[in-house]
Each structure stands twice: as C-alpha cells, then as structure tokens.
Amino acid sequence: MRHLSTFQLIAALCVCQAFSQVATATYPALLPVFMAQWALSNTEAGWISGVFYVGYVVSVPVLVSLTDRLDARMIVLPAMALSALSALGFAFFAEGVWSASAWRALQGIGMAGTYMPGLKALTDRLPDASHSRAVAFYTSSFGIGTSMSFFAAGEAHALLGWEWAFGLSAVAPGLGVVVIAAVLAPRPVPKADHPATALLDFRPVFANREAFAYTLAYMVHNAELFALRSWIVAYLVFSQSQQSADSFAVTWRATVIATVVNLCGMPASVLGNELAQRFGRPLVLLVVMTASAATAVVLGFAATLPYWIVLCVLFFYAFTIAADSSTITGGAVTAADPRYRGATMAVHSMVGFLGAIAGPIIFGGVLDLSGGETAPLAWGLGFSSAGAIVLLGPLFVYTLGRSAKK
C-alpha cells in the first residue's frame, strides 16, 4: 500500500464519506410516497426521519471515543458495511412506522461509525496545519453524498419503485468499504497517546467550554439542516401544487431540485471556512446563522408565490444553512485537547445530532398543529420554528465560548 499525499488522502476520505451518505436520504427523498402508501401523519413521518439520528446519537459516543484508543479505520470499515446492509433491510422488510424505524435506526448507527470516525481517521494522518481545510472539504462531502442520495432515490423510484431505490442505495457504501480497505493504511494508536480517563468519561470534554460552545452551535445547526433535508421534497411538492400549469420549472422532479439544492453545501461550507479564518469564527457564525434564520421564515411563507421565487429563496437558504458547517466543526476540532480529540468529536456528534433528531420531528409537529401539509400557514410556521432554533447558535458561541477565553 503506497503512501498517499495530503491531497490524495483528503480526496479519498471525501469520496468515501460521500459514498457512505448515498443511502441516508432515500427515505426523506421519497417521503410523499411513504406518507401516502403507509397513511402516515406528519409527526409519524418526521419520527421515521428523526429516528435515524436516535441510532446515531446512541452509538456515536462509544464508536467515536474508541478512535482515541483504536485506529479509526477499524471503526469505519464495519460501520460502512452496516450502512449498506441496513439499506437492504429497509428495501426488503420495511412495512410501516415501526419496521421502517428499526432499519432507519440501524442506518443511523452505520453513519455514527463512518462520519466522525472518518474525520478522525483523516486528521490522525495529516499535519495539524492541514486540519482546518481538511475539515471543510470533508464536511462538505456529506452534502455531496446527500445530494447523490436524493437524486438516485428519485430516479430509481420513478423507474423501479421505492424498494429498488433503497436496494440500489446500498451499493455506494459497499464501494466505500472497498476504497477504505484499499487506500487507508492501518495506523495503530500508540499506548502513550491513549487518554488518561476511562472510555466514555467525558468530563475533560465538557470542561473545555470553548469546544463545547461549538458543539451546542452544531446542535441547533443540525436541527435546522435536517428539518430542511427531511421536509424539502414534501415542501416542493406542496409548492408545485399551488402553481399554474405553465409556471417555470413546475414539472421538474422535486428530488432533482433537492439534489441540486444540497450540492450548494460544498462551496458554501468551504467558503464559510475561508471567511472564518480571515474574520474569525464567532463573527462569521453570527452573520451566517442570522441570515439563515431570516431566510427560513421567508421560504416558509413563500410556498404559494411564483415557483421561480420559491426556488431562488430555497437556493439562497441552502447556501446559508451549509455555510456554517465546517466553521462549527473546525472550531470544535481546533479547540480540542489532542489527547481527547476523539472524545471531543464523540460529544460533538452526540449532542449535535440531538438537534438532527428534534428538527424533523418538531417541524412535522408544527405542521400537524397548524393545519397540515396542505396549509400554507403550516409551512410558514414550520420553517419559522427551524429559523428560531438556529438563532441560538451565535448566542452559545458568544457567551459560553468567549467566557472560556477570559
């Protein structure tokens, strides 16, 4: 196995991260299909989206903390295989709320062992000076994989049905296993570098107030981001139903639009990181998260406006919602004690993805309480709730994070 350059290593891990995400958005991409076929309420539909992150949150503290003691490669390989197997399980055995929830939770466990452990595998093999940009590209590849998932799900469903959409989505994480095994050389963690605390003892992490401030910002970022990813197709379908037959792009498949929208994540994440290095993370997060919250409100109440306006607002929203991602995670990684970097990333993921659980469920609950998915007001209030949550992010960074430096 030949030695990879910094660029090659970052590229390989980004490709694998994108592959690992291809199975994750199949359900939200086909949400209207499942709501009709299984007669789901909005809350039930939101729960199936959110339970993915229950599996993630439950398992991520153990899986990511282990990377302080084991080569992260040993975590990533079986977890990526689980991502493939759980997608196949959904294809063959999901029949309603509870069976779908079980397979979605297993998919979440698979992502818990691939996302942050993959980042740890990358940063462990790079010099410290390369970490910030590596984090930016790696986290942006998450959005690329999600975009591929939306597109593949929509096209496969149109041609073959939802079962094939899930079954075919398992191919990408399967390929990820092959790539990781082929290009990532083993790197055992020396005993001397093991943390002094026991596994799952997160006291040093919580004591690091600067890193934890970014973790709390990550939680509200995820609540907003995954509310959008879970409900974007359903929102677009509703907005299309409010348009005249000759409206611009009204016949475009909603999953294709969602694909392109999610692709905004990569340039937005990279640009946000570059701005943060120049102007400082707190200021960039304040500007970006405030802009994102305001745009969420506009988007929610814009559903019945001409479709070209809806799409313009949606693309701007997708840009702002992703522009803080690498800035937040990079802040946590940079502030972490190197001995507890794996544990810090475990807490960052665990607490951060509590927002991913809550976001889709809160959004669905707001829809149900305010008239349902056919009511324009309900969509306005749903997106407004996501915007209100994300405004907490700058508050955490400016209060808890700044106080840690005094």
pLDDT at residue 2, rounded to an integer: 57
Confidence band for 263, pLDDT divided at 50, 70 and 90: confident
pLDDT higher for 6 or 289? 289
pLDDT at residue 213, rounded to an integer: 95
Confidence band for 342, pLDDT divided at 50, 70 and 90: confident
The count of other CB atoms within 10 Å of the CB of residue 39 is 10
Q: Are 383 and 232 in contact (CB under 8 A)?
A: no
Confidence band for 135, pLDDT divided at 50, 70 and 90: confident
Confidence band for 232, pLDDT divided at 50, 70 and 90: very high
Residue 252 to residues 150, 257, 306: CA-CA distances in angstroms? 14, 7, 14
H helices of 242-280, where?
A: 254-263, 265-279
pLDDT at residue 186, rounded to an integer: 87
What is the rounded CA–CA span in Å between residue 223 and residue 200? 25
Write the DSSP symbol of residue 185. -
Q: Can you read off the two tokens belonging to residue 160? A: 């073959």
Task: Quote the crossing angle between the two packed helices 265-279 and 131-160, to the nearest 10°.
Answer: 160
- Percent of the chain at pLDDT > 90 equals 63
**Nearest C-alpha neighbor of 47 from the set 60, 58, 31:** 31
For 161-185, what is the mean pLDDT? Answer: 94
Identify the residue whose tokens are 């700058």.
Answer: 394
What is the rounded CA–CA span in Å between residue 348 and residue 345? 5
Residues written for the chain: 406
pTM (2 d.p.)? 0.81
pLDDT at residue 207, rounded to an integer: 92
pLDDT at residue 288, rounded to an integer: 97
Write the DSSP symbol of residue 243. S
Average pLDDT, the chain: 90
Q: Can you read off the two tokens belonging to residue 132? A: 């910030």
Confidence band for 184, pLDDT divided at 50, 70 and 90: confident
Tens digit of each residue's pLDDT (9 = 90 or more) over 207-223: 999 999 999 999 999 99
Specify the amino acid at residue 208: N
SS3 category, 324: coil
Q: Which phi and psi (to 5°) does residue 145 adopt? A: -60, -40
What is the rounded CA–CA span in Å between residue 236 and residue 32? 10
Residues 283-309: b if buried by 16+ CB within 10 A, e if exposed: ebbbbbbbbbbebbbbbbbbbebbbee
Tens digit of each residue's pLDDT (9 = 90 or more) over 14-30: 999 999 999 999 999 99
Q: CA 266 from chain center: how many Å?
A: 12
